[in-house]
Amino acid sequence: MERLVEPMKVALRVLAALSERQAPSTADIAQLKAYVPARAATPLDELACEVIQQALKSRAAARARSLPPWR
């Protein structure tokens, strides 16, 4: 699950910086674009939201796989 948390942390740092009208760190921007390379040209706020949505979907799928079959 940790590999699913790190993209969310990066995306949240980018969104926090943008909401405070500050530039996100270049390292965070590079990481964010690396998570979704096909959408690297997307505005940073939209890209961050996309990364968060993908991470949440992946976490939900991982939880569903780990549930017992009777649930």
Q: How do residues 3-39 score in pLDDT, each as one tens digit?
A: 778 999 999 999 999 999 999 999 999 999 999 999 9
Please state the pTM of the whole predicted model: 0.83
Q: How far apart are CA 56 and CA 64, in angstroms?
A: 12
More confident residue, 36 or 68: 36
Residues 6 or more apart from 38 whose CB is under 8 A from it?
Answer: none
